Amino acid sequence: MKREDLINELQEIVGIKGVIVDPSELVVYETDGLSVFKHTPDLVVFPRSADEVVAVIKTLRRYKMPIVPRGVGTGLSGGALAERGGAVVATTKMNKILEVDIRNRCALVEAGVVNIHITNAVKQRGYHFAPDPSSQVVSTIGGNIAENAGGPHTLKYGVTTNHILGVEVVLDNGEAVWLGGKTEETIGYDLRGVFIGSEGTFGIVTKAWVKLTRNPQSYKTMRVSFASVDDAAKTVSDIIASGIIPAAAEFVDFVALKALEEAFKLKLPEGTKALLVIELDGLEVALDRQAEKVIEICRKNNAIEILLARNEQERTQLWFARKRAFGALGRLTPSYLTQDGMVPRSKLPEMMQFIYQVAEKHGLRIANIFHAGDGNLHPCILFDERKPEEIKRALEASADILKQCVEVGGSVTGEHGIGLEKRAFLSFMFTEDELSVMRKIKSVFDPEEVFNPGKIFPESGEFVEPQIVGKRRPAAM
């Protein structure tokens, strides 16, 4: 079968503009938010409905092409890249909110709906969609489901899987099936739970029933400055140990604060080395007492400034440093690699010191912007991808950090997924027998390794030493 025949068949399904084959346009899809890995697909196709996804998958199967599901490409582990070539199936044109059922607190949405658009559609009725990854203004529900995305408020409300009732997925044979449904509980095996977080290796999401969460009656939001990273880290553990579960507890360190100062002229007390953004929510009658206790704990841990928002405008201002921190890093570096290790909260001070030691060891700067409340670290390793030696050092630093996360009782990922970036690191956490069971589950959904081949599991002979990934896979001509 000829490439031209495949392209013609796909264009008949999705339209001429729904298939990208020009190498100059395909280069856009060679990477994702991670930016280090680069693999150009053979083509990209944009179905506009679940029926078109079914037809596209069946066509690609006849041509024996690998299939890589993709949203808008904000992922940070290389999960949506065509390492082995093939077709990227992008669901961004499937962007309708099909039904809002306030009475049952749920909504039916297509895979390409942007995360925050769900909240915007229901906020006037007093509801929101709780999972809020930092990319929520652009990331789509299909990608959030594939990666089981988190975010600042998942400390209290849980990650994506806690807010998905059911998903419609297209399997390797082109069959569309529902896993779960509109109701909270379904009979039988929890295949919905198995699918969420499978990183596009089981099939492709087309629709989902999502839960809607009632807006809190009130918020208490504070921004706290510390002269010590250790003091800020210890504060988070002390707050949760006291019995208070904040809606969010976010950490920004001195490297990121420098970027914010350069980018936005952010003014902080002299000597600030770390910032916490702490948000409490719930019934107004209880929040004053909780806020007083949190402020007491912050002062006990040597806080040098505590700002408490008095209204929604001030709340937005206090969140500014956390929301804009990742973007501000562009003032300090042409490239950065965002890691995603998980550690117990009590190990945060130890891990922070270790990360700064790794930065010194490899001659790099590392900024830390992360979800401190659940120990989900996001060290941002600053480097210049135009310099192969710096890429090598950045990957070595990344491996050092992830190994240490596991050593202190954590995980190699909290929310970004394994993808290409961390597949060689799974042996830090799992035995060969455990990995074999995972592969068997994958084979039930995708026996011929059609969907997202090469992701998650270590390749034969692949070691934990970081791989140099500067080489591009060229587009097919």
- For the residues 121-126, what does the mean pLDDT come to? 97
Tell me the DSSP string of 377-421.
--EEEEE-TTSHHHHHHHHHHHHHHHHHHHHTT-BS-SSS--TTT
Residue written as token pair 């702490």: 278
Check residue 463 and give its pLDDT: 54
> What is the DSSP annotation of 131-197?
---TTTTT-BHHHHHHHT---TTHHHH--GGGGEEEEEEE-TTS-EEEEE-SSS--SS--HHHHHTT
Looking at domain 217-326, which of 3.30.70.890, 3.40.50.720, 3.40.250.10, 3.30.70.2190 is its CATH number?
3.30.70.2190
Distance CA 286, CA 220 (A): 11
Q: Choose among 294, 249, 304, 301: nearest CA to 272.
A: 304
Residue pair 41/68 in contact (Cβ under 8 Å)? The answer is: yes
> What would the DSSP string read from start to end of 64-115?
T--EEEESSS--SSSTT--TT--EEEE-TT---EEEEETTTTEEEEETT-BH
The more confident residue out of 472 and 209 is 209
Helices (H) and strands (E) in the chain, counts: 14, 18
Distance CA 295, CA 292 (A): 5
437-473 burial string, b = 16+ CB within 10 Å, else e?
eeeeebeebbeeebbbbbbbbbeeeeeeebbebeeeb
Q: Note the pLDDT tens digit of each residue in 453-475.
A: 999 998 765 655 444 333 333 44
Quickly list DSSP for 289-345.
HHHHHHHHHHHHTTEEEEEE--SHHHHHHHHHHHHHHHHHGGGT-SEEEE---B--G
Give SS3 for 118.
helix
C-alpha–C-alpha distance, residues 458 and 444, integer Å: 19
- To which H or E segment does residue 282 belong? strand 274-282
Report whether 272 contacts 257 (CB < 8 A).
yes
Evaluate if residue 421 carries a pLDDT over 80: yes
Q: Give me the pLDDT at residue 417, please.
A: 94
CA distance 209 to 100: 10
What are 286-322's pLDDT values in tens digits? 899 999 999 999 999 999 999 999 999 999 999 999 9
Query: Contact at 8 Å (CB) between 152 and 250?
Result: yes
pLDDT band per the 50, 70, 90 thresholds, residue 435: very high
What tokens were used for 407?
């050593």
What's the whole-number average pLDDT of the chain? 93
Give the confidence band of 476 by pLDDT, cuts at 50, 70, 90: very low
Range in 3-17, 175-189, 200-214, 295-309 the model is least confident about:
175-189
Nearest CA among 19, 3, 68 for reference residue 39: 68
CA-to-CA separations, 88 to 42, 50, 475, in angstroms, rounded? 8, 16, 12
303 or 429: which leads in pLDDT: 303
CA 444 – CA 378 distance, rounded (Å) = 33
* Res 241 pLDDT > 60: yes
Tokens representing 297 are 């704990």
Q: What is the reported pLDDT for 232?
A: 97
Whether the predicted pLDDT of 35 surpasses 90: no
Cβ atoms of residues 377 and 405 within 8 Å: yes
pTM above 0.85, yes or no: yes
pLDDT in tens, 269-282: 999 999 999 999 99
Confidence (pLDDT) at 270: 95
